Structure 1
């Protein structure tokens, strides 16, 4: 089989900067691309955009956060192209029913309103505080995350929030995976916690789970060497 194209799928309001270390290190192993979703406002539309921009042939998909959901949707749309998949700091369930779902919706809409009112960086300074290990608050990495958020717009933020609120239930797709599957989670991820990834591994026992120490939700940026090492092992084995 031909070597796959490694496709790095960013999370909410993330761009190629989120994968900078991994892209630079892993491009020596195989062809590597960082996907862009444009202004797509649905997970399926994002997955179709990914398939439209990557070259033909087998794919190794690595998705972070929202990108993990996009990776699983790509796997659903084009299972014949999937050679391996890595899911980082993510989840598989749809929006919860009832009060829990309404609370999530309200929080997401409040962040959107702040972005419209005060700008993307001001919104990011509030939102990203829950995305990193406490030791990285107001650190250079934190500022890099704010720079990345500021490069986006309230319109794109709204589109991606709509996509996440209407996210499909990808548990059946995840359970059907038969390729090498890697799960990665920051030990201190408060947004997509380790317990969620341990549950995912219990649903797919052949998956490998790697815990990234001293990292929150933004593990590829917070502990880039550790995440790159995990992805390298996944690609080589």
Structure 2
């Protein structure tokens, strides 16, 4: 039986945009999508619905980093019959309500600005040995985002539903990827999530933090290629 056409959907982390996937777009030439999600609404369900609408194939491999991984789980909840495999990078399926931290993050962003928020929340998520060039590239992507778009992303992250149910019921491969130095969500959570999935696998990348596609593009590209070959 000939497999139907496959497409690749790449979903970005905060406070970046679709450009964080520059090194992954050619993994499936002409059939890869890396949308910027902020304009898709203030709920992750809306992000998932609109990201899914960009695609046309009946079979998708979805790769998400951080809140993008949460969005990937939401797509799988929305259209499980179309999702061939999930690659979840630095993703936490379970969400703990923390309205104080949510409000504090928005206050920092709006009162101190995007530069201060970058320094406090996101730059520390890179590995200690991350290339300064990589960190600077991520900062450039961040600083070109409208402040209210990033604020919307923060709200989407903090109000997303827990999706342990999707993770545990999804029948396809779930590849969980974490940098060894990623504290959000961290190795222990990533290990538990890989065990929770029916076809879960865990990859731990040394000398890597939260933003795997930018910090270790060759390593994540090898993982995604394997998924594409077997999907």
Q: Which residue of 160, 170, 175 maps to 1:177?
A: 170
* Partner of residue 5 from structure 1, selected from 7, 12, 18: 7
Matched, 1:191 2:192: no
2:53 is aligned to: 52
**Contact 1:141–1:221 (CA under 8 A) maintained in structure 2:** yes
> How many Å apart are 1:149 and its aligned residue?
1.0
Which of 93, 110, 113 pairs up with 2:107? 113
**Aligned counterparts of 2:121 and 2:210: Cα–Cα separation in 1:** 12
Q: Secondary structure at the match of 2:151?
A: helix
Kept after mapping to 1: 8 A contact 2:102/2:155? no
Contact 1:128 1:145 (C-alpha < 8 Å) held by counterparts: no
> 1:56: how far off?
4.0
Task: Return the offset for 1:131.
Answer: 1.1
Deviation of the 1:205 alpha carbon? 5.1
SS in 2 for 1:169: coil
Q: Which secondary structure does the structure 1 equivalent of 2:15 belong to? A: coil
Structure 1 alignment gaps of length 5 or more? none
Query: Closer, same or farther in 2 for the Cα pair 1:205/1:74, shift >3 Å?
Result: closer
Partners of 2:77 and 2:166 within 8 A in 1: yes
Distance 2:187 2:105 in 1: 25
Partner of 1:212: 205
Structure 2: any 5+ residue segments left out of the alignment? none
TM alignment of 1:20-169, pairs within 5 A: 20-24=22-26, 26-28=27-29, 31-37=31-37, 38-96=39-97, 101=98, 105-136=99-130, 139-169=132-162
User: Which stretch shows the higher mean deviation, 73-82 or 51-60?
Assistant: 51-60
- SS state at 1:126 partner: helix
CA contact (8 A) 1:10 1:34 kept: yes
Deviation of the 1:14 alpha carbon: 1.6
How far, CA to CA, are the matches of 1:129 and 1:13 in structure 2?
10
Q: Work out the CA distance in 1 between the residues paired with 2:154 and 2:55.
A: 24
Aligned residue number for residue 16 of structure 1: 18
Q: CA deviation at 1:135?
A: 2.2
CA deviations 1:189-237 (Å, max 9, x no partner) are 0111011110012212521111111100111111111111111111112
CA RMSD of aligned residues (A): 1.7
**Structure 1 residue 60: Cα displacement:** 0.9
